[in-house]
Chains A and B, each alone.
Chain A
Amino acid sequence: MILVLGGSGCGKSAYAEKRIQEAAVKNHATIYYLATMQVYGEEGRKKVERHIELRRGKGMLTIEQTREIADSIRQMQEGPRVVLLEDLGNLVANEMFQSDGTVNSPKMVAEKIVTQLKMISAKVSGLIIVSNNVFEDGIEYEEGTMNYIRALGEIHQKLTGEAEEVVEVVAGIPVTLKV
């Protein structure tokens, strides 16, 4: 497992793509891209379809999985495979804020996601998780957002225990936090 994180526009996606392609070559594996973003409206759908096509051109098969991330395993073919998940921030939001207005606790969300990511990791030759550094703007948000930040922070800490590598991308430059 490799955790790749960074802020807005830092180049984390491009870096993660490069790494997953290297992992695919090394393992002679199929690349699955787990897209976690919830898509709204026709315009959003069109944009997503375009991105799916672009990724297909790069040899990546997209699975859209906005929650229950471990369910994606069933949609993968047998044989060697590597997985790029983008991104963890969206997955946490989707698991936390339910469509009926209820909000799951950060602890529950964190436990569920970490468990499911470990399940995926055990079934694939490589897992790269792209996530967001949302922790340094110094703003006191309302409770929902603060809980979201806590959940994501807790997941990061748990995943860094699991991951062989943790990389922060700064201005397109990978800065290794753990090897």
Chain B
Amino acid sequence: MELYLGGRAQGKLALALQRYPHAKVFDETCREENLSDADVVIWNHLHLFVKTWLSQEKEPTQIWEMVADLLDQHPGMVVICDEIGNGIVPMDQEERRYREETGRLLCKIAARADKVERILCGISRRIK
């Protein structure tokens, strides 16, 4: 499994598609049941999933179970997530939680990943 991190519009998905042109991209707009025949699955916009799950009052442990489940189902998956935690800590509790829990989830995914890359201006730097 690979994890790609970076700010908005830095070319994370483009890089993943360049490496895996036949991959199926899965994001907040599509359902996961049509992924069974995919060779490689790219899971885009992980942060938006976290946001939705938190708004549905899912606990971090439940979130991790769902994520771990998906990672188990698609061992070669490329997970893409925006880096959202590098700012002033928001006053709003929900916004704060969103950043914090996305960060913590990324630590767990990164620990499991074979490869972690950070992408800026389309240029990737492997950090694991």
Verify if A27 is at the interface (C-beta below 8 Å from B): no
A-B contacts at CB below 8 angstroms, number: 82
A134 touching B88 in the complex, CB below 8 Å, given contacts A8-B99, A8-B103, A9-B101 = yes
Q: Determine the chain A residues whose CB is within 8 A of the CB of B107 once the complex forms.
A: 9-11, 171-172
Verify if A153 is at the interface (C-beta below 8 Å from B): no
Q: What residue in chain B is nearest A169 (Cβ atoms)?
A: B107
Binary contact track A77-121/B, C-beta < 8 Å → 1, others 0: 000000000000100000000000000000000000000000000
B88, A7: Cβ atoms closer than 8 Å? no
A173, B85: Cβ atoms closer than 8 Å? no
B87, A134: Cβ atoms closer than 8 Å? yes
- Interface size counted on chain A using CB atoms at 8 A: 24
Shortest beta-carbon distance from A25 to chain B in Å = 24
In the bound complex, how far is the Cα of B126 from the Cα of A87, in angstroms? 28
In the bound complex, how far is the Cα of B89 from the Cα of A145, in angstroms? 11
A9 touching B103 in the complex, CB below 8 Å, given contacts A170-B118, A172-B111 = yes
- Interface size counted on chain B using CB atoms at 8 A: 28
Verify if A133 is at the interface (C-beta below 8 Å from B): yes
B85, A7: Cβ atoms closer than 8 Å? yes
> Could you tell me which residues of chain A, from 1 to 32, have a CB within 8 Å of some CB in chain B?
6-11
A173 touching B102 in the complex, CB below 8 Å, given contacts A7-B87, A134-B89, A136-B87 = no
Shortest beta-carbon distance from B104 to chain A in Å = 4
A contact face: mostly helix, strand, loop, or mixed: loop
A136 touching B86 in the complex, CB below 8 Å, given contacts A171-B5, A171-B110 = yes
Q: Determine the chain B residues whose CB is within 8 A of the CB of A11 once the complex forms.
A: 103-104, 107
Shortest beta-carbon distance from B107 to chain A in Å = 4
A134, B101: Cβ atoms closer than 8 Å? no
In the bound complex, how far is the Cα of B102 from the Cα of A6, in angstroms? 13
Verify if B116 is at the interface (C-beta below 8 Å from A): yes
29 contacts between A and B (CB under 8 A): A7-B85, A7-B86, A7-B87, A7-B103, A8-B85, A8-B96, A8-B100, A8-B102, A8-B103, A9-B100, A9-B101, A10-B106, A10-B107, A89-B89, A133-B85, A134-B86, A134-B88, A134-B89, A135-B87, A148-B88, A170-B83, A170-B110, A170-B118, A171-B5, A171-B106, A171-B107, A171-B116, A173-B127, A175-B127
Q: Which B residues have a C-beta under 8 Å from some C-beta of A?
A: 3, 5, 7, 83-89, 96, 99-111, 116, 118, 127-128
Q: Which A residues have a C-beta under 8 Å from some C-beta of B?
A: 6-11, 89, 132-139, 141, 145, 148-149, 170-173, 175
